[in-house]
Amino acid sequence: MNINRQVLTLDEFTIKQMRDFPGATGELSSLLRDIGLAAKRVNVEVNKAGLIDILGDAGSVNIQGEEVKKLDVFANNQFTGVLKHGISCAGIASEELDDIIIFDDEVSNNSKYVCMYDPLDGSANIDVNISIGTIFAVYRRITEKGKPCGLQDFLQKGINMVAAGYIIYGSSTMLVYATRRGVNGFTLDPSIGEFTLSHPDIKCPDKGKIYSVNHGNFFQYDEKVKKYIDRCQKRTKADGGPYTQRYIGSMVADVHRNLIKGGIFMYPAITDKPKGKLRLLYECNPFAFIVEVAGGKATNGKERILDVQPTELHQRSPFFVGSKLMMEELEECMKG
């Protein structure tokens, strides 16, 4: 019999990786499996989003008499639900929730990890059929096992992250996750309902030709940021250009593209939002981790993102992330 099966599923891959680590308990594999399950459920609903108009608007009652939930609330419930009922997570924080949720049951209190996520990032794009995503970060808790977790488990520096990832609900659905050992991408095969390894060991090219920024805010940017954007626009063939500007307005899609093709993504501070728009703990930090593991860099314009000590769950941060050499040029401009 010719058994020629090379494609690994997400579960097979994480279990295989765990076996290479003699001391591993399998909790991280289990947590990633839980996230994969929630992602599949969210994917089904995202694909039906266009039908919502037929079935009734969000917040109203559909033809089955059930309340139609907003997709971001639905996504939040799915991720929170799988992690609560799983065996690896002691508590969660979410963009959708003001406070952390401490699961506080016997299994959860003995779990190693806490998880933070933006369950549906770019959700303003749902109505117009543009890619959206989920972003997540996993930390080993610092509170004592056997007891409920606490806020200090969530306010850890990004450098302590154990794993981070995102799901992109796009032309196909992908789950990409990073541990310190590498970044790997899995594409959902709808015929079997499994994420399968499609992008092993992703590396971010050292340079690219794409810069992503909201040009509508240009006149609100700091002069140093404007200087870098000006350089991007003036790039010629002789110095690696011309560059192209791409900005979807869904960070997951923008950073995913730049990670694969090479590029830089920026959400600087603006006059209206002096701390920027994006959230440090579950938007900037996970992407900073993923891109750094892939060979790129991430800063807030002054400091490496992963070195920032968080003080609040929902704090915002300016964010610059991307290919190493492009980031180094940005850093040079930011020095003045």
Interaction site with ligand AHM (CB under 6 A)? 118, 121-124, 214, 249-251, 267, 277
Q: Which is nearer to ligand AHM, 86 or 318 (CB)?
A: 318
Q: Which is nearer to ligand AHM, 86 or 133 (CB)?
A: 133
Choose, by CB under 5 A, the member of 27, 72, 121, 194 that binds Mg ion: 121
- Give the residue among 191, 201, 263 at the shortest CA–CA distance from 232: 263
How far apart are alpha carbons 123 and 134 in whole angstroms? 10
CA dihedral 101→106→109→115, nearest 10 degrees, is -50
* 252 contacts 200 by C-beta, under 8 angstroms: no
Tell me which H or E stretch contains 261: helix 251-261
| Least distance CB 227 / ligand AHM (angstroms) | 20
Q: Which of Mg ion, ligand AHM, none does residue 277 bind (CB under 5 to 8 Å by kind)?
A: ligand AHM
**Residue 299 tokens, joined:** 């800063």
Question: Per CB under 5 A, which region of 27-35, 49-57, 83-91, 114-122 contacts Mg ion?
Answer: 114-122
Which residue is nearest to ligand AHM, using beta carbons? 251
Q: Which is nearer to Mg ion, 34 or 118 (CB)?
A: 118
**Residue 240 tokens, joined:** 């690696």
Question: Helix (H, G, I), strand (E, B), or coil: what is residue 174?
Answer: strand
Half-sphere exposure of 32 (CA within 13 A, CB side): 28
Tell me which H or E stretch contains 109: helix 106-109
Q: Which of ligand AHM, Mg ion, none does residue 251 bind (CB under 5 to 8 Å by kind)?
A: ligand AHM
Q: Which of ligand AHM, Mg ion, none does residue 119 bind (CB under 5 to 8 Å by kind)?
A: none
How far apart are alpha carbons 300 and 313 in whole angstroms? 17
* 197 contacts 8 by C-beta, under 8 angstroms: yes
Residue owning tokens 């314009």: 301
How far apart are alpha carbons 77 and 154 in whole angstroms? 19
| Least distance CB 48 / Mg ion (angstroms) | 21
| Least distance CB 251 / Mg ion (angstroms) | 7
Using CB under 5 A as the binding rule, whether residue 118 contacts Mg ion is answered as yes
| Least distance CB 110 / ligand AHM (angstroms) | 32
Residue 312: left (phi > 0), alpha (psi -120 to 50), or beta?
Answer: beta
How far apart are alpha carbons 125 and 214 in whole angstroms? 15
Question: Per CB under 5 A, which region of 116-124, 230-238, 308-316, 327-335 contacts Mg ion?
Answer: 116-124
Q: Which of Mg ion, ligand AHM, none does residue 123 bind (CB under 5 to 8 Å by kind)?
A: ligand AHM
**Residue 49 tokens, joined:** 């989003």
CA angle 224, 122, 196 (to 5 degrees): 110
| Least distance CB 133 / Mg ion (angstroms) | 9
Q: Which of ligand AHM, Mg ion, none does residue 138 bind (CB under 5 to 8 Å by kind)?
A: none
How far apart are alpha carbons 169 and 167 in whole angstroms? 6
Q: Which of Mg ion, ligand AHM, none does residue 193 bind (CB under 5 to 8 Å by kind)?
A: none
Q: Which is nearer to Mg ion, 120 or 334 (CB)?
A: 120
- Give the residue among 105, 140, 152 at the shortest CA–CA distance from 312: 152
| Least distance CB 271 / ligand AHM (angstroms) | 13
| Least distance CB 245 / ligand AHM (angstroms) | 13
Question: Per CB under 5 A, which region of 113-121, 149-157, 171-179, 284-292 contacts Mg ion?
Answer: 113-121
Q: Which is nearer to ligand AHM, 35 or 251 (CB)?
A: 251
| Least distance CB 105 / Mg ion (angstroms) | 29
Q: Which of ligand AHM, Mg ion, none does residue 165 bind (CB under 5 to 8 Å by kind)?
A: none
Binding site for Mg ion (CB under 5 A): 118, 121
